[in-house]
Structure 1
Amino acid sequence: MTLLRHATTTKVAALGSITALGCLALTGCGSNSLGGSSSSSTSASGSSSTTPAGSSTATLDSALAAKVPAAVKAKGTLTIGSDASYAPNEFLGSDGKTVQGMDVDLFNAVATTLGLKTNFQNASFDTIILGVNSGKYDVGVSSFTINADREKQVDMVSYFSAGTQWAVKKGNPKKVDIDNACGLTVGVQKGTVEIDDLTARSKKCTSSGKKPITQIVEEQQSKVTADLISGKVDAMSADSPITLYAIKQTGDQLQTAGALYGTAPYGIVVPKKEAALATAFSEALQALDKSGVYKNILAKWGNTSGAVTSFAVNPSVS
C-alpha cells in the first residue's frame, strides 16, 4: 500500500493564501478510488484560466506537433480539469482564479512542445476523471497517483514520483531519526495517510516498551509547517512535493529528515479513445527531459528529487 497523502480516500478542504509558507494548504488529490468524497477549494469550483501554454524555455517541436490528432490540433486549446488546492502542484493564484503550480508549468511546457494552448479549470477532484471521460475536459492534471483501477478507466502518462518525506528544523537540533522516532512530537495534517503511518510507527514503539510518537494534527498543512518552525513539534511528515516546497518557501529554516519512502508515480489523465494523444504527451515529456526544461521546472518548485526518466503510458502498477 502506498503511503502517499494523496492515496487516502479521506479528503480535506484547505486552501490557504499564498504566504511565506508557500500556500501549503492542500486537499487529498490522489485518492485510490475513482469515486468517493472530495472537497473543492474555497473558491467556487469551475474557476478557470486560459494562458499561452508553456514556460519561457519550452519551444515548439514541429515533428512532435505533427503527431497530435487532427481533431485536437484543430481545436488548438486543451481544457484541463485540476483541483487547485494542492500547493505547490496546483493551486489558485492571488487573483483567486488562475490555476498555477508545478503540474501546471509541466503540462504547459508539454502543450507548447506540441503547438497547443491550455485552459485549466478548477474542479472537485472526484469529478475530474468522470469529466475527462464525458468530454467536459480533454485532460486531467491534478497529482493523480497512477494505479490499476484508474488505468482501467483512462490512459495515464507518468511524469513524476512522489512519496512521504519528513522535515525538521535546520541542523536537526532534536537529532530526529525517522526510523527511531519514539518519544518525539510530529506534526501532520488531518485526514492524511501520514497519520496512519505515524500511528503504526508509534505502536511499534509502545510494543517494545518505548514512548509513543505524539501527533500534533492540524487542519491545514501551512499550520503544520508553522508548528515546526516555532518548535511546537520536533518534525513534520507530509507528501514529498509539499515538504520540499515548504523547505524552499520558508527561507532555509527547514531541511529534510531521512529518505523519501512509499513512492508512487503521478500521471496525466487522458481518455482511452485518445491513445495517440497520450503517446504525444509521453514523447513531449521525453523531449522536455532531454532539453533540460523538465528538470528546470521541477527545480523551480524545489522538487527535483521526484524527477523520473521514463514517461510511460499506463506503466505497470499495483
Structure 2
Amino acid sequence: MMSSTLPARPIAAAAALALSGLLLAGCAGGASTESEAPETAISADEELHAMLPADVQESGSVVVGTEAGYAPYEYMDTDGSTIIGLDIDLLDAVTARLGIEYTLENVAFDTLLPSLDAERFDLVVAGMTDTVERQANYDFVDYFMADQAIIVAAGNPEGIGTLADLCGHPVSVLVDSTQQGILEAQSAECDEPIEILTQPTDSDALLQVQQGRTVAMLTQEATGRYNAAQIGGGQAFEVANTESIDPSPLGYVFKKGDDELVAAFQAGLQSLVDDGTYGEILASYELESSGLDEITVNGADE
C-alpha cells in the first residue's frame, strides 16, 4: 500500500476533480491507500490517545472503510488513486489528534457494513446516515447534519418540487442508502408508486437522470448541490426542492461493543470542534452551516 498525506483542500480547488468527463465513474472496489497524520499543524493529545483500545495504541493504526464516489465527502483526485474530500480531511485531523495513522480501503457502498461485521475494518467513514434501524447493529459517532436533495435535469422539465411530485415517475438512488428508504416510504403513500431504480454508486444514479432514464435522483444535499454546481458548468442539473427533506446526522460507524474506540473518536472530534479545526475544515467546503457544536453518539431518533 502507498503511504501518503492528505491535507485539507478547498472545494473551489477540488471542484472538477470528482468528475471524469461529465460524471465520476464510481468507486474502484478494493482500492486501498494508507495515510499518515496530515501536514496541517494538529498536535496529538496524550489523554485522548490513552482512550484508545490497547491494541490500537500498540499498532498505532486503524483500518477505515469508505466508498470514494460521493463528492464532496470522499472522491478520487485527478491521479485516480488518492482519495480526497471533507470526510478525509476530518479523518486526517482526528487521527492526528489521537496520535495514530490509518489505512483507507475503498469498496462498494453496499459492502461497507458487511465488511465491518467481518472485522475487515475498524470503522466506516463514508457519509453514512445515522438511523435508529442501523443503531441496532452499529454505533455512530455523529459529525455532520445532512439534508436531502432532489436532483433533476436543468429547467426541471417535470416541475418536481417535493417528494410527492415523484409519484408515478422513475427515480434513481444509491442502493441500500437512507435515500432509498425515503423513496420507498414516499412511494407507499403515492396513488401511483415511484419506480425506484437503485444504482451501485451515486454517480450512476445521477447518470440515469442525465440520460433521461429517470426524472430525478435523491441524494444528500451536499452531494447534490456539489454535482449540480460542477457538472456541465452548472448548467446540466439543478436542485428541485426548496424545502428541507429529512435532515439527518452522518456518523463514523463502529461495531457494537467497540466502546473504547467510539469514545476516543467522539472525544477526538469534539476536541477539533472546540479548537476551531472542525469549523475551518467545513468552511473550506462551504458547509459550515451543517456543522455540529456537540459530537454525539447515536444521535438519530428515527
Provide, for residues 203-261 of structure 1, a one-character-per-residue CA deviation record: whole Å limited to 9, x for no partner: 68x9xxxxxx9x9x997355478689xxxx99975321212322553567687651332
Q: CA deviation at 1:199?
A: 6.4
TM-score of the superposed pair, with normalisation by structure 1: 0.67
The equivalent of 1:46 in structure 2 is: 30
Percent identity of equivalent pairs: 26
Q: Pick from 222, 238, 246: which aligns with 1:241?
A: 222
CA distance in 2, matches of 1:68, 1:249: 40
The equivalent of 1:129 in structure 2 is: 113
Paired AA for residue 246 in structure 1? N
Q: CA deviation at 1:82?
A: 1.2
CA contact (8 A) 2:63 2:102 kept: yes
Does residue 301 of the first structure (1) align with residue 285 of the second (2)?
A: yes
Provide, for residues 248-282 of structure 1, a one-character-per-residue CA deviation record: whole Å limited to 9, x for no partner: 53567687651332111111112333211111111
CA contact (8 A) 2:156 2:238 kept: no
Paired AA for residue 108 in structure 1? D
SS at match of 1:74: helix
CA distance in 1, matches of 2:215, 2:115: 42
TM-score of the superposed pair, with normalisation by structure 2: 0.70
The equivalent of 1:34 in structure 2 is: none
The equivalent of 1:68 in structure 2 is: 52
Instruction: Describe the shift of the 1:223–1:309 C-alpha distance in structure 2 as closer, same or farther (beyond 3 A).
Output: same
The equivalent of 1:18 in structure 2 is: 19
Q: Which moved more, 1:263-272 or 1:299-308?
A: 299-308
Paired AA for residue 249 in structure 2? P
The equivalent of 1:11 in structure 2 is: none
Q: CA deviation at 1:85?
A: 2.4
CA distance in 2, matches of 1:155, 1:17: 29
The equivalent of 1:85 in structure 2 is: 69
Written as runs of structure 1 = structure 2, the 5 A alignment for 1:1-318 is 18-19=19-20, 23=24, 41=27, 43=28, 45-54=29-38, 56=40, 58-166=42-150, 178=161, 189-190=172-173, 193=180, 220-221=204-205, 223=207, 238-249=219-230, 258-318=242-302
Q: CA deviation at 1:292?
A: 2.1
Question: How many residue pairs align between the two structures?
Answer: 275
CA distance in 2, matches of 1:245, 1:125: 19
CA distance in 1, matches of 2:218, 2:128: 20
Q: CA deviation at 1:123?
A: 1.9
CA contact (8 A) 1:58 1:288 kept: no
CA contact (8 A) 1:187 1:224 kept: no
Q: Which moved more, 1:116-125 or 1:129-138?
A: 129-138
Paired AA for residue 112 in structure 1? A
Instruction: Describe the shift of the 1:292–1:249 C-alpha distance in structure 2 as closer, same or farther (beyond 3 A).
Output: farther
CA contact (8 A) 1:110 1:285 kept: yes
Structure 2 runs not aligned, ≥5 long: 1-16
Q: Which moved more, 1:53-62 or 1:131-140?
A: 53-62
Instruction: Describe the shift of the 1:123–1:179 C-alpha distance in structure 2 as closer, same or farther (beyond 3 A).
Output: closer
